[in-house]
Chains A and B, each alone.
Chain A
Amino acid sequence: MGFPHLPHSRETTVLSKYFGDAEARTLAGWKKRGGYKALEKALDMQPAEIVNIVKESGLRGRGGAGFPTGLKWSFMKPGDGKPHYLCCNADESEPGTFKDRELMRWTPHALVEGCAIGAYAIGAETAYVYIRGEFTEPLYWMEEAVKEAYAAGIIGKNAMGSGKRIDVHVHKGAGAYICGEETALMESLEGRRGNPRIKPPFPAVSGVFGMPTTINNVETLIAAAPILLNGADWYKKMSLSSPKSTGTKLYSVCGNVQRPGTYEVVMGFPFKEFLLDLCGGPLHGRKFKAIIPGGASVPIQNMEEAEATLMDYEGFVAQGSMLGSGGVIVIDDAQPMVTVIARIARFFAHESCAQCTQCREGTAWTTKILERIRDGEGTMEDLDTLLDIAEQMTGKTICVLSDSCAVPVVSGIKKFRNEFEALIQGRRFHPVTAAVA
């Protein structure tokens, strides 16, 4: 559903069915809507069976990277004598992304259930939900849900009477974007400064407290419940395109569009129709100019690319971008691209953890050059310098924050070079005139 709007008829509401339904937030309300049936079923199964069903369903990580979830779960070797941990990455900080926020606001019990299923599947007794510091309302609802679930014996020492122990802890972050990076999240969870760790070792070998850990996005974990209830085939069939992308995906749409909000569509939905029909098209008298389809760190699409895109993992890549987190940022012809890109770069410069040289210095340098160009003080050499800095920032650091800053810059210069050149050559870009014309 394009919450806060009514669901569009072309949406497929699996996870977002109860958005706006206040009663679904409570345990009683959630149970009335079929809640915790999946967990009950899961606890009767062997963990390996659950992993197999999830593998079979084709579910892939919804946080951005799209790693097959079942495969990730299968990395956790049962009986290695070590405590296993499940982390739920609810540090949704990617600019333009707010799907997890809605999920936690309206269906907190779904996440508790998802965490419990995930934890059981990977042989963990403890699940941590790391919630972004600014998410005060989702935090409140999550804490309420966990409290209710404990009181009802759904989680705890004897989860749903199964004799299995499953603890879910909600942890509030302190508002750093980098803590959404999985290893930085673990550092932060352990009480240290949220700096990404060098990989290898990967979390499945040494994660939280040095123990085998699986980390999943909110949406991924919540999707596990309906998969268990309805079967892998049901999930696999929800795809209009590539068999590699299955199920439904939540998109949070913001920017210059008639109806911003959170939408849920099946994989392979045509992006053009999504933008024009579901989201209501551009604002009156404007035209779409560019789309950032998966949060600020994916390449910017121009309209030819966007309109040709089928919305799945492969579809976005085929059209020069990435599905990412599903945070669609719509930019229309009233927006100067240089300003948009400079603002994105500033965000990354602000959030760099300052470990790696290229990221610490490169993000700030990029920002300064972009802002200078924006202010009409740029030179043509600056564009070459920007591309060269971006090259230095790509693939050379511990995590991908640095790459994330380079991506919009490179795609922006490549696809909207005329706007950069116009500013440099003194032909100031006037958004208002453009909007009227």
Chain B
Amino acid sequence: MAEQKMVNLTIEGRSVSVAEGTMILEAAKTVGILIPHYCYHPGLPIAGVCRMCLVEVEKAPKLAPSCATTVAEGQVVHVHSEKSLDARKGVLEMLLINHPLDCPICDQSGECELQDYTYQEGRLDSRYREPKRFNPAEDFGGDVMYVPNRCILCTRCVRFMDDVAHEPTLNVSERGDRAVIGKFEGRDMTHPWAANVIDLCPVGALLSKDFLNKARAWELDRTASICPNCTQGCNVIMETRENQIVRMRPRANEHVNAFFMCDWGRLNYRWMNEKERVEQPMMRNGSSGLAATSWEKAISVAARALTGKKVFVAASPMLSNESLFLLTQLMQGGSGAFRVAEGEEAPLAGVEDLALRRERAANVHGAETLGFKKTKDLLAGLGQGDVLLIAGEDLAGVDLSEVSRASEVVVISSVMPLGLERASVVLPIANFSEEEGTVTNLRGRVQRFTQARQAPGETRPSWLVLGDLLGAMGKQFSFFLPSEVFTKLASLHKSFAGLNYESIGFKGLPVVDAPHTGPSTPIAVGAA
């Protein structure tokens, strides 16, 4: 790789050294200075229209838009000088003159950049005395609603649809202060990635219909996680209110999903709030069927059922690497299989190697790496007389007559498999949003997810239950943290060699033998 030429400059008195061609705004970020901006977004082509990021560059005749001005050797930049503060104050006042100031009823309130910067450096009052411009709210199709009165016309949404989604749908209609974001005739925001414009919108102009009026931003708890809905493994933030997931939003990761996530993944979070759960350990009690019992009892019964037997594991590809690894440890000569739901692949054209994948589960690659067989016929590998261990599978659509081959059935799951009558013991586990662990995406990238909600009832994390079970079976596994499970996995499995939770961090790392590590440099987004 060619040596990149570095440029030295001073921003707010701090010396900065960045690669040639970097914009001042990005250079300032490297020394912890955020220059206020609206239209600029690192994932979109530069527009330079909001004029919010104006900074004073010594020896330049005019204030410079820092998003569109490249660094130069010896440049001295003042971000908070009187002149630049005055210009930004002017922009903020102008942006607010036609703004309805309806923060109390606006979904964006609390996470609104217009609000933030106005509090930070805007005027205390407005000198505007004229009637405000009014345009009615509009349904843009898909999950997107447009409230033009709050729009600051930064055109991030327009540029996303044009240059990232490659499906021009939005435009700036009209001119002057009559301008609004418009839709091309016959087009709707039904592109599979269209809802990203909601996150991109710095104000409350583009709103999610799904999230509309559900919660205020400050009521939400935010958790770093991975979208469990396909093998891409987009980094997300799971947002919960009162222990319910109310929204999933993308978390930037230049190696996986840039700044985006697809609509299907985004809106497919309700299953994690599912109320019909197994909340207590249960065991078969003679002929009276399953009855609640204690964890100690249930674990020892399960251990007794498994010890010395050949075990066939029907696993869910939603389970973490940690749990799948522990499952492999109790097969005792048996095998494991999983099946995965499928849908249409939907790529995001402007970003390299980013798509809603055909296989709709988080850890398909991890399961395969750990030796589970991907199959359409889930129970095909179940041998006569094996113990069937159902791990996280709901068995929907499976021919349950095949279960009769099993000598005994043990269930470790968060929901009770439908129609299954032969389970001798049921161990309730947390679902994806309720525990911590790692998953491996289709490019072999191991990524951590953390606990977003509390598990109901007596439910325990799957790695803990499986660890206890192995302990009860005399395998001398004892884990107090999922990181310990992972360390064990890394020590035993060559693909995961050398990895641990610290090194994986929150952006993930590829497994040793990853089929394709994905773009190693930040994903090229859009056509600048």
Residues of A within 8 A of B (CB): 176, 178, 193, 198, 349-358, 360-365, 368-369, 372, 381, 385, 388, 391-392, 395-398
Contact = CB atoms under 8 A, between A and B. Distances in A.
Contacts of A176: 175
Contact of B127 (A352, A385, A396): A385
24 contacts: A178-B175, A193-B172, A351-B176, A354-B153, A354-B172, A354-B175, A354-B177, A357-B52, A357-B91, A357-B95, A357-B153, A358-B90, A361-B94, A361-B95, A362-B94, A363-B177, A364-B176, A365-B130, A372-B129, A391-B90, A392-B87, A392-B94, A395-B62, A395-B63
Given A358-B90, A397-B51, A198 B176 contact: no
A361 B62 contact: no
Majority-rule SS of B interface residues: loop
Given A358-B90, A398-B48, 9 more contacts: A354-B179, A356-B51, A357-B94, A357-B152, A363-B176, A365-B130, A395-B61, A396-B62, A396-B63
A323 B280 CA distance: 87
Contact of B175 (A351, A365, A368): A351
Contacts of A358: 51, 90-91, 94
Interface string B125-146: 0011110000000000000000
Nearest to A348: B176
Given A198-B68, A369-B130, A360 B179 contact: yes
A363 B178 CA distance: 12
Contact of A352 (B47, B65, B129, B175): B175
Contacts of A365: 94, 97, 128, 130, 177
A386 B471 CA distance: 79
Most chain B beta carbons < 10 A, residue from A351, A355, A392: A355
A95 to B, nearest CB: 16
Nearest to B52: A357
Pairs A-B, 6 closest by C-beta atoms: A354-B179, A392-B90, A364-B177, A361-B94, A355-B49, A368-B130
A363 B94 CA distance: 10
A176 B175 CA distance: 10
B370 interface: no
B71 to A, nearest CB: 14
A265 to B, nearest CB: 33
Contacts of B48: 198, 398
B177 A356 contact: no
B344 interface: no
Nearest to B92: A357
Interface in B76-115: 87, 90-91, 93-95, 97-98
Interface in B168-196: 171-172, 174-179
Nearest to A379: B129
Contacts of A193: 171-172
Contacts of B62: 395-396
Interface residues of B, number: 36
B54 interface: yes
Most A CB atoms within 10 A — which of B54, B95, B174, B176? B176
A44 to B, nearest CB: 43
B50 interface: yes
A360 B178 CA distance: 9
- Which of A178, A360, A368, A398 is most buried by chain B, counting CB atoms within 10 A of its CB? A360
Contacts of A353: 175
Contact of B177 (A360, A388, A397): A360
Interface string B42-70: 00001111111010000001110100100
- Which residue of A357, A388, A397 has the most chain B CB atoms within 10 A of its CB atom? A357
A66 to B, nearest CB: 18
Contacts of B49: 355-357, 398
Contacts of B177: 349, 352, 354, 360-361, 363-365
Given A198-B65, A385-B127, A396 B54 contact: yes
Contacts of A391: 90
A364 B177 CA distance: 6
Contacts of A392: 87, 90-91, 93-94
Contacts of A368: 130
A148 to B, nearest CB: 37
A396 B90 CA distance: 10
Given A358-B91, A398-B48, A349 B97 contact: no
Nearest to A402: B51
Nearest to B180: A354
A358 to B, nearest CB: 6
